[in-house]
């Protein structure tokens, strides 16, 4: 195998060369005193014309992690993030929780307070090097990462990098945490040799156990009223295609509950929307595919005697302390491969019945027609409103988005929009770390510079996303993202939760509602004045389409970021 030898380099330089060789394109960073050897390495490479991963300055750790997440959502390739010791790690934790729960690979790294107090290059040289040290810095993130380690010696550099990346990408994928002491990074190496491309192969796609697949196939083939529920199948576009083929061939209705991606094209005849409650209690066999929580037990439960099958990379979610959804058959498999296995087994199952399939198809066709009628009725009702609703915004975006990459952290009504191409819709805030979509849209734009990228975000989530830092990066990196703020002047998710518990309580009548409503009229569009973007506030439904056109002119025609502050009704 080909090898590369570097001479008279620091460990920091060798590390960055290794990252580039292993496919890392970007180094998203929020720097601190621990970064000095890396900053010197980047400056030297720039001076000498040497290619390294591209460093990107993120003025807040939330943005750095979210950009890496967004890039990987589009490119499929893990990227590197580095933050400042313990404090940077703490600031980045919400983003790491999201990355973990959405099962995306990421090399998340942090400096480590210098170990030595003096006497070596990189030793402590600032007051903060004492109060910032912790007994177990990695303990803050250990539950949210797949693997953590500290680089202790230059001799293990290649092995540590390869171990980190293999752990991150091995199914189920996730973030890993590597700490980098300053003295180790600063050490000089007369010579450093590494193998090209490494030798840490990861296992290929897993297949389901044949007996379990056959049993599940028999149940589904013979079911009179089956139901499939998904949430994160679309993380792999091949799995979306496999699901579409399976449910079309055997007339299996699909509900995409809290969909994280394009789970099934919205115009697919077997797509029955996003609400499982009306269908779960009638189903005799339920296939759960990549769904953390396929339904809310407080709202609905499978009927007595119904069989429930779970299929996914790790279908019982051992990382969750409590998850008690019934499971009669568990199939641990790569989703695309497992769904194809199911289709092959159903085609030859003794329970297969062409007449039963056609009965299901007629019933699902009628259910889909009723669903479309209810959506049309909801839109007609919204059009009667003199104020902008979430449906107005969703329909207006749908009319202009084309094949845009759309990020949802808002009231966006994806069920009223057309998403027919896998990999064009992302709702990745799986652990509740708000503000992720702003930075994720930037990372997606870097991964797909020729695509229109739209970030839709609620006003509360917009503030969570450290927006000034986001807009700075968009300006500095020249990323013409369109940001649409659903400004309903409050925490709608908190309102909804409170109404769910106290529908006729004091809070329902309170004005303002404590800890929920926002008082000031925030003019978010003025953020664009700071960074040279285009900003506009919209409050009339009739003005919304033209405002979107003006924003898109700035994005597409002028290469500038744009923000629409859309004042809308809650809900």
DSSP conformation letters of 407-457 = EEESS--GGGS---STTSEE---TT--TTHHHHHHHHHHHH-TTS-EEEEE
Q: Does 202 fall in a domain? A: no
Task: Indicate whether 122 and 219 sit together in one domain.
Answer: no
Spatial separation of the C-alpha atoms in residues 104 and 260, rounded to whole Å: 12
* The predicted structure's pLDDT at residue 238: 97
Task: Indicate whether 546 and 445 sit together in one domain.
Answer: yes
Task: Indicate whether 497 and 563 sit together in one domain.
Answer: yes
Q: Where a domain ends, among 195, 225, 259?
A: 195
Task: Indicate whether 320 and 240 sit together in one domain.
Answer: yes
Q: Which tokens in the block code for residue 258?
A: 């809290």
Q: Where a domain ends, among 371, 398, 429?
A: 371
| Residue 117: partners with Cβ closer than 8 Å, 6 or more residues away | 123, 124
The answer to whether 518 and 370 have CB atoms below 8 angstroms apart is no
Spatial separation of the C-alpha atoms in residues 3 and 13, rounded to whole Å: 16
Q: What is the pLDDT of residues 145-188, one digit of tens each?
A: 999 999 999 999 999 999 999 999 999 999 999 999 999 999 99
Task: Choose among 168, 164, 125, 170: nearest CA to 15.
Answer: 164
| Residue 480: partners with Cβ closer than 8 Å, 6 or more residues away | 445, 474, 554, 555, 556, 558, 559, 560, 561, 562
Spatial separation of the C-alpha atoms in residues 555 and 260, rounded to whole Å: 26
3-state secondary structure of 285: strand
3-state secondary structure of 394: helix
Q: Does 106 fall in a domain? A: yes
Look up the CATH number of the domain holding residue 412: 3.40.50.970
3-state secondary structure of 33: helix
Q: Which residue has the tokens 């991606």?
A: 261
Task: Indicate whether 176 and 42 sit together in one domain.
Answer: yes
Task: Indicate whether 113 and 260 sit together in one domain.
Answer: no
The answer to whether 483 and 562 have CB atoms below 8 angstroms apart is yes
Spatial separation of the C-alpha atoms in residues 144 and 97, rounded to whole Å: 6
Q: CA end-to-end span of the chain, whole Å?
A: 59
Q: Does 18 fall in a domain? A: yes
Task: Indicate whether 403 and 291 sit together in one domain.
Answer: no
Classify 349 in phi/psi space as left (phi over 0), alpha (psi -120 to 50) or beta: beta
User: What residues of the chain score a pLDDT lower than 50?
Assistant: none
Task: Indicate whether 154 and 22 sit together in one domain.
Answer: yes
Task: Choose among 107, 70, 64: nearest CA to 83.
Answer: 64
The answer to whether 56 and 467 have CB atoms below 8 angstroms apart is no
The answer to whether 419 and 399 have CB atoms below 8 angstroms apart is no
- Rounded to 5 degrees, φ, ψ at 97 are -60, -45
> How many structural domains compose the chain?
3
Q: What is the pLDDT of residues 107-134, one digit of tens each?
A: 999 999 888 889 888 889 888 899 999 9
Task: Indicate whether 7 and 96 sit together in one domain.
Answer: yes
According to DSSP, residue 568 is labeled B
The answer to whether 293 and 277 have CB atoms below 8 angstroms apart is no
Look up the CATH number of the domain holding residue 359: 3.40.50.1220
Q: Where are the alpha helices (DSSP H) in 487-558?
A: 492-501, 506-509, 527-531, 544-552, 558
- Rounded to 5 degrees, φ, ψ at 449 are -65, -20
* The predicted structure's pLDDT at residue 543: 97
Task: Indicate whether 174 and 225 sit together in one domain.
Answer: no
Task: Indicate whether 311 and 415 sit together in one domain.
Answer: no
Q: Does 269 fall in a domain? A: yes
Buried b or exposed e, range 356-365, using 16+ CB within 10 angstroms: bbeebbeebe
Spatial separation of the C-alpha atoms in residues 300 and 486, rounded to whole Å: 30
Q: Which domain holds residue 17?
A: 3-195
Task: Indicate whether 434 and 483 sit together in one domain.
Answer: yes
Q: Does 204 fall in a domain? A: no
* The predicted structure's pLDDT at residue 554: 98
Q: Does 379 fall in a domain? A: no
Q: Does 200 fall in a domain? A: no
* The predicted structure's pLDDT at residue 122: 86
* The predicted structure's pLDDT at residue 1: 66
* The predicted structure's pLDDT at residue 519: 81
Q: Does 273 fall in a domain? A: yes
Q: Where a domain ends, among 329, 348, 371?
A: 371
């Amino acid at each position: 195998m080909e090898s590369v030898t570097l001479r008279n380099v620091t460990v920091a330089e060798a590390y960055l060369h290794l990252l580039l060789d292993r496919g890392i394109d970007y180094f998203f960073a929020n720097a601190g005193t621990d970064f000095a050897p890396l900053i010197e390495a980047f400056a030297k490479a720039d001076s000498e014309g040497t290619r390294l991963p591209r460093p990107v300055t993120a003025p807040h750790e939330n943005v750095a992690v979210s950009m890496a997440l967004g890039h990987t959502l589009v490119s499929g390739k893990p990227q590197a993030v580095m933050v400042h010791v313990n404090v940077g790690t703490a600031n980045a934790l919400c983003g790491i929780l999201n990355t973990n729960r959405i099962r995306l690979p990421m090399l998340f790294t942090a400096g480590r307070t210098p170990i030595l107090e003096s006497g070596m290059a990189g030793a402590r040289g600032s007051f903060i090097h004492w109060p910032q040290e912790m007994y177990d810095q990695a303990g803050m993130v250990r539950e949210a990462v797949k693997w953590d380690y500290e680089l202790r010696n230059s001799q293990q550099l290649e092995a540590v990098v390869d171990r980190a990346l293999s752990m991150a990408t091995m199914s189920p994928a996730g973030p890993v945490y590597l700490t980098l002491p300053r003295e180790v990074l600063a050490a000089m190496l007369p010579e450093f040799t590494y193998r090209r491309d490494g030798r840490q192969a990861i296992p290929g796609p897993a297949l389901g156990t044949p007996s379990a697949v056959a049993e599940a196939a028999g149940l589904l083939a013979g079911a009179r009223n089956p139901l499939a529920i998904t949430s994160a199948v679309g993380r792999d576009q091949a799995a979306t295609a496999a699901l579409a083929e399976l449910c079309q061939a055997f007339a299996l209705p699909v509900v995409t509950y809290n969909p994280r991606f394009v789970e099934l094209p919205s115009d697919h005849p077997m797509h029955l929307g996003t609400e499982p409650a009306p269908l779960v209690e009638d189903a005799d066999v339920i296939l759960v595919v990549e769904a953390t929580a396929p339904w809310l037990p407080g709202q609905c439960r499978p009927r007595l005697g119904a069989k429930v099958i779970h299929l996914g990379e790790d279908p019982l979610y051992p990382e969750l302390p409590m998850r008690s959804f019934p499971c009669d058959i568990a199939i641990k498999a790569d989703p695309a491969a497992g769904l194809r296995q199911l289709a092959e087994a159903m085609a030859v199952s003794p329970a297969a019945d062409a007449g039963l399939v056609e009965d299901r198809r007629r019933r699902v066709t009628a259910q889909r027609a009723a669903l479309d009628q209810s959506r049309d009725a909801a839109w007609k009702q919204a059009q009667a409103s003199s104020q902008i609703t979430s449906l107005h915004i969703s329909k207006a975006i749908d009319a202009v988005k084309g094949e845009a990459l759309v990020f949802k952290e808002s009231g966006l009504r994806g069920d009223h929009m057309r998403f027919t191409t896998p990999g064009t819709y992302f709702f990745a805030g799986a652990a509740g770390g708000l503000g992720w979509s702003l930075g994720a849209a930037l990372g997606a734009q870097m991964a797909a510079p020729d695509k229109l990228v739209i970030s839709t975000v609620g006003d509360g989530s917009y503030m969570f996303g450290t927006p000034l830092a986001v807009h700075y990066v968009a300006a500095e990196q020249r990323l013409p993202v369109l940001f649409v703020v659903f400004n309903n002047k409050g925490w709608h998710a908190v309102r909804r939760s409170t109404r769910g518990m106290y529908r006729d309580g004091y809070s329902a009548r309170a004005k303002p509602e404590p800890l929920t409503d926002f008082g000031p009229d925030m003019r978010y569009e003025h953020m664009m004045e700071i960074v040279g973007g285009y900003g506009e506030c919209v409050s009339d439904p009739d003005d919304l389409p033209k405002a979107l056109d003006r924003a898109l002119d700035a994005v597409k025609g002028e290469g500038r970021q744009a923000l629409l502050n859309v004042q809308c009704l809650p809900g």
